[in-house]
Amino acid sequence: MTIIKVTFLNAEEPTVILGEEASSDIAVRELPHDPVDQNIFIRKEFTSSEIKNWKVEKIDTIQDTQNATIECEITLSPLQYLPKSISEKHSSNGSKLVRGRLLECDFGYFSQDISLGNQPSTTISNFNSKLPYEMVKRRLVVVLSNKEDPALVVPISKGNKAKDHRTVVGITSLPPDLVTFNNPRCFAKTAAISYVSGHRLFPVRFNTDEGRRQYDYRVEKKLSNDDVVNIKKAVFTAVGGDNILRSIESKDEQIDALNGEITIKNNRIKCLNAKNAELWEMLEEYTK
């Protein structure tokens, strides 16, 4: 019988064990994803602590094939100051999910499979959690729908890497006082547009003039209308509507050209009318 032993440690007190779990006679055990270069948050209760929200700092795994055991140590740090989600604070009427608003979206984390050899870790058999290549971790997003819960959101990134650069939009109106995202150069990744519950969406923090850090509960932090329009156009491209968009733009160009011709002809008509009036005046003078 193979045994997986999981020990949860507190990063603030490494010698303190938050809890221990043991599983036996199973093929795969799901654990939080390795947090290297990622912010991985979990919600877990322990009898030794009142805190329920944690950040995964590291995961150490040792496999003992001789004794058929896998030992995992998961080091967690407590999160004590979490704001209420938009739906939790304002109910699910979507009144605060205004188009263009900046929020933090908790997409959750990947679960990693600790395989015991009976089943490859790349085999997908559990569809009740996130799968590879889906959006993960806590990210800054902009709301594209208007006053709807669930909401359509587009993640904002510090990098512009993408398979199709037409789906990446440079942001020009990011507020400079955000606490967790103050990079002046950032990009909206429209190919990753997502439909999420308001329970995943949290207000961003910003620095006040008094030097305090405050949560945006009043819909203060938004992108400009120009940025939102450009993002919506890129979303259209991301879902394969660029041909329609180009057709519309082509028609708009044709309309602009025709309007230009109409303006020229109208000006010509004005000139002819003025000339006609002048000739009538001359005729009246000669026939007196």
Q: pLDDT tens-digit profile of 90-149?
A: 876 788 999 999 999 988 876 665 554 545 455 667 677 777 778 888 899 999 999 999
Q: Are both 31 and 65 inside the same structural domain?
A: yes
Q: How many CB atoms lie within 10 A of CB 204?
A: 22
Q: Tell me which of 15 and 245 has the higher pLDDT.
A: 15
- pLDDT in the model for residue 282: 86
Given a contact cutoff of 8 angstroms between Cβ atoms, the answer to whether 4 and 114 are in contact is yes
pTM over cut 0.95: no
The answer to the question of residue 278 being in a domain is yes
What whole-number distance in Å separates Cα of residue 126 and Cα of residue 124? Answer: 6
Q: Are both 93 and 77 inside the same structural domain?
A: no
The answer to the question of residue 245 being in a domain is no
What tokens appear for 211 in the block? 């030097």
The answer to the question of residue 139 being in a domain is yes
Q: Average model confidence (pLDDT) for the chain?
A: 84
Q: Are both 102 and 204 inside the same structural domain?
A: yes
What tokens appear for 207 in the block? 């620095």
Q: Are both 99 and 40 inside the same structural domain?
A: no
What whole-number distance in Å separates Cα of residue 246 and Cα of residue 240? Answer: 11
Given a contact cutoff of 8 angstroms between Cβ atoms, the answer to whether 264 and 270 are in contact is no
Range of the domain at 33: 1-81
- pLDDT in the model for residue 189: 95
The answer to the question of residue 131 being in a domain is yes
Residue 114's Cα: distance from chain center in Å? 29
Residue 148's Cα: distance from chain center in Å? 16
Q: Are both 92 and 148 inside the same structural domain?
A: yes
Confidence of residue 25 (pLDDT cuts 50, 70, 90): low
Q: Are both 127 and 192 inside the same structural domain?
A: yes
What whole-number distance in Å separates Cα of residue 97 and Cα of residue 94? Answer: 5
Count the domains in the chain: 3
The answer to the question of residue 248 being in a domain is no
Q: Are both 209 and 151 inside the same structural domain?
A: yes
The answer to the question of residue 247 being in a domain is no
CATH assignment of the domain containing 204: 2.30.30.110
Q: Are both 45 and 126 inside the same structural domain?
A: no
Given a contact cutoff of 8 angstroms between Cβ atoms, the answer to whether 227 and 169 are in contact is yes
* Percent of the chain residues past pLDDT 70, beyond the cut: 86
Q: How many CB atoms lie within 10 A of CB 135?
A: 17
Please work out, in degrees rounded to the nearest 5, the angle formed at the alpha carbon of residue 194 by the alpha carbons of 190 and 196: 150
Q: What letter does residue 49 receive in the DSSP assignment?
A: B
What whole-number distance in Å separates Cα of residue 246 and Cα of residue 252? Answer: 10
Q: Are both 47 and 158 inside the same structural domain?
A: no
- pLDDT in the model for residue 44: 84
